[in-house]
Structures are given as structure tokens and as C-alpha cells.
Amino acid sequence: MNRAVVEACGTPFDLSLEAIAPDKSISHRCAMFSLLSDRPSTVRNFLRGEDTMASLSIARQLGAEIEDRGDVIRITPPAELREPDDILDCGNAGTGMRLFCGLLAGVEGSFVLTGDRYLRSRPMKRVTAPLQSIGAKIDGREEGNLAPLHIRGGRLKAFRYESPVDSAQVKSAMILAALRADAPSHYRESFLSRDHTERMLRGMGVSITTEAEGWICITPPKGPLEPLDITVPADPSSAFFFAVAAAIIPGAKVRIPGVTLNPTRIEAFKVLEAMGAAVEYRLHEDIYEPIGEIRVAYNGRLAAVEVSQRIAWLIDELPALAVAMATAEGTSRVRNAAELRVKESDRIASVVAALQACGIETEEYPDGYAIHGGVFRRATIDSHGDHRIAMSFAIAGLLCGMEIEDIDCVATSFPNFFEMLSRITEVQI
Ligand code: S3P
């Protein structure tokens, strides 16, 4: 198990982050959705993280031909998805497992989805229960809640499903299942979760329309979809670690080009702005997604903030935001964020434990935490195998130095994170 020692960063930095990790959510979807066409998809800037490479390997096991030319990956789908002769390993990826459940539920054959020990302990009932209710045959430990999951794909009924969680993974699994159902299906969530699936599938020719009272209607296509031709934008969730770095180090600034400006993904930048950081957005193009540049600069000590709305739009950035909150003047609070408990680790417990180790006063709530802004102290942090905890506290290390244990997980989403961090400070692995 590797550890990183991050030293305090002595001088302000002005960083242009051309090589920020490509978007994880969109990369997973490229690997999966290319299977729905009958022609090759072209994907540039695919995230070469362990999570998304696992999805690409699964696409190959299902019969796709993957031609990896370095900067471009060409994915040629099979005429019919193939029943694989081995298990499908999603690694650490909840997105991989939940979306493949929806994609495979309507495909003839037997499929076993598994993952690492962290993924095998995460709840899958949120997708397996609604899929079972429309005819999918899925089984797993705890009555289909825990992987390994066995799917025996078959005919699916159209549905009208109102999700109890605002989750893009649940929504995407159900949309993928709806593509193979026997009639148009309807789906509703109480607050719009990230909408890459809707945007990309519409771009591939699927009819997904918005109806009254927040329902969307998904019509099964009559034939194969248009292939994807896409350049994956930079991942705002990965970029956000460096945005926090710029917001807490006096005199620092970062420029993040080619990043998705999808409103369901950049809410954390808005919160950082509300805390007093200087943040600018420049829209450059709109291909599947609005894409542009974000600039963040230090603008004095941050002020405390309360976050309890639009949680689905910043759920992945809350650990890094917690580091910003810990430096702010006053008490910040996060509420309505119980979903944090079922991420790659229980992120409420991991954030609170790590902040306390750093001498920051915190209180834990069932659905969030309070953070009393103060001064970080160097500590040894256990990542709990969670990439976002490891990276968030590496950023806190810029203030006072930090030792992070169990950093291998960073490779799931941002393989060059420490290399990039070493452009601003001394890092030893
Ligand atoms: C994701 C959706 C979110 C997010 C995850 C990626 C996606 O999960 O936390 O990192 O790509 O659909 P939920 O949909 O479970 O909230």
C-alpha cells in the first residue's frame, strides 16, 4: 500500500492545468453507449483511470473491438452483445456496476458483475429493485443488494418509476433498461442529477423528452443508435482539487481549460465563489455538453458557508470543499448529504475523522457535518481506499504538509494527480 508525503507549498503558484484528468462520468458512458450503435464510435481524451478502463474491458468482453491509438480510441460494437465466458470486473466503480446492470438487464444471456472489496460492500438495491420490478432477473447477496450480481437478461416491461434518490447512476441504469423495454417509459427524480446520459443518448438519436412535473419519457429506439464522435472534456470534479488549492494559498491561481461547464457538475465552484474565491467561467463550445474554461484565484481568507441545496450537483466535490471550509472564517455546515455515506467510503465519517486528525473542530450529523474553520495541522490521514479523500487531504497538505496512507485508489479517477501536485510542491511517494 503506497503512501504520499506532501510538503507545504512555500510560494504562490500560477498553474495552467492542460492535463487535468478527462471526465470519469462521460468516459464510462462512452465505453458503454458505443455498444448501442452498429458503427464504430470515436472517443478522444478517454480517461485512462482504473475505473473507466474497467468499463472499456467489459465492453471488450461483451464483444466490442477496441482499437487504442493513444489519443483516440475507436470502439466497434458487435452485431449482438456477446455472453461473456468470465465475470465482468467493475473494479472500484459504482458507476460501472450500476449502469451495466441497466444495460445488460434487457440483453439475452448470463452476466456476472463484480468489483473490488469496497464496491462489493456498496448498495446495489437502488438499481436492482427497480430493474427487478420491470422483469429483470438479477440476484446477489442480501437479496440482490450486494455484488457479485448475477443478471440473466431478458424481456423488460415499460415503466413509470419515481426514484427515491437523486442519483444519476440509478437514472442512467433505468434509461438504459428503457431502451430495451416494450413501450415508452417514464422516470422522475425530485432534483435533476447529472444529465450526461440524457445529453449523450439524445446526441445518438434517442428520444428522451421532458414532460410535465419533471417526468422524462424514454422511447425505445427502432434500431441501432448513431455512433459517438466525442472529445471527453476535463473532469470538473478532478479539477476542483486544484481550484481549492488556489482558493486557500495566498496569491495562487489556476486555469482549467477544456472542462465541462454542465451546470449539474460545477456547483462546487459556485460555492467556492460564494465563500469569496475569485472564479471565472468562459464558454467555448457546446458538443453534447457546454465546454469551456474555469479560472480560480485566491481572493483573501474564505468565509464560512452553509450547503444544503442542490447536493446532487456537488456530491463528489464535498470532501475537497470540506478542506476549503476548514480554512474559512466561521462555521460551515453541510446538510441533506446522507448519500455521502454510500460513496467509495462513508465520506461523512472519513471527512470528519481526517479533519479532526488535522486539529479542525467538527461535528458529525447523520446527513452531513459542521466544520469550524481553523488552522490545519500536519497529520497522517487514512484514505479508507477512497480516491477523493486521498486527494482532498493532499491538497490540505499544501498548507502544512500531510502524510496520506493508501493512495493507490487515486489511480481510479486521476492517475496523474500527484505528478500534477508536484508542479506546486514537493511530493514523495
Ligand atoms: C455518477 C453519479 C454520482 C457520482 C458518481 C458518478 C455518474 O453518483 O457520485 O461519482 O457518473 O453517474 P450517484 O448517481 O449515485 O449520486
What are the beta bridge partners of residue 207?
A: 219
Q: For residues 205 and 253, state if they share a domain.
A: no
Same domain, yes or no: 178 and 203: yes
- Residue 167 CA to ligand 1 centre (angstroms): 6
Question: What is residue 157's three-state secondary structure?
Answer: coil
Question: Which tens digits make up the pLDDT trace of 118-129?
Answer: 999 999 999 999
Predicted local distance difference test score (pLDDT) of residue 10: 79
257 and 351 belong to one structural domain: yes
Peptide bond before 148: cis, by omega within 30 degrees of 0?
yes
Q: What is the mean pLDDT of residues 148-155?
A: 96
Q: What are phi and psi of 243, to 5 degrees?
A: -65, -45
Q: Is the CB of 169 under 6 A from ligand 1?
A: yes
What's the Rg (C-alpha) of the chain? 21
Instruction: State the average pLDDT over residues 150-161.
Output: 97
CA 24 to ligand 1 centroid distance, Å: 10
pLDDT at 349 (0 to 100): 98
CB contact set of 250 (below 8 Å; sequence gap of 6+): 12, 298
Same domain, 358 and 216: no
Write out the catalytic residue numbers. Answer: 316
3-state secondary structure at position 405: strand
For residue 186, name the pLDDT band (cuts at 50, 70, 90): very high
Name the maximum alpha-carbon separation found in the chain. Answer: 62
Beta pairing class for 306-307 and 3-6: unpaired
Distance 119 CA to ligand 1 centre (A): 13
Domain boundary among 201, 231, 261: 231
Q: What is the Cα–Cα distance from 123 to 147, expressed in whole angstroms?
A: 9
One domain for residues 34 and 11: no
Q: Which pLDDT band, with edges at 50, 70 and 90, does 363 fall under?
A: very high
Whether the per-residue pLDDT at 17 is higher than 90: the answer is yes
Residue 168: band (very low, low, confident or very high) from pLDDT cuts 50, 70, 90:
very high
Of all protein residues, whose CA lies closest to atom 15 belonging to ligand 1? 167
Decide if 416 contacts 21 (C-beta within 8 A).
yes
Atom of ligand 1 nearest to the CA of 126: 15
Q: Look at residues 231, 253, 271 and tell me which one is the last residue of a structural domain.
A: 231
Residue-range definition of the domain harbouring residue 90: 24-231
Co-location of 305 and 185 in the same domain: no
Look at residue 389 in the predicted model and tell me its pLDDT: 98
Do 413 and 351 share a structural domain?
yes
Mean per-residue pLDDT of the chain: 97
pLDDT at 1 over 80: no
Pairing of strands 331-334, 306-307: parallel
**Looking at the structure, do residues 14 and 68 belong to the same domain, yes or no?**
no
What pLDDT is recorded for position 386?
98
**Residue 129 belongs to domain with CATH number:** 3.65.10.10
pLDDT per position as a tens digit, 209-220: 999 999 999 999
User: What sign for the dihedral angle of Cα 258, 170, 320, 309?
Assistant: positive
Our count of domains for the chain comes to 2
Q: Which of 179, 207, 231 represents a domain boundary (last residue)?
A: 231
Pocket lining: 316 vs ligand 1, CB cutoff 6 Å: yes
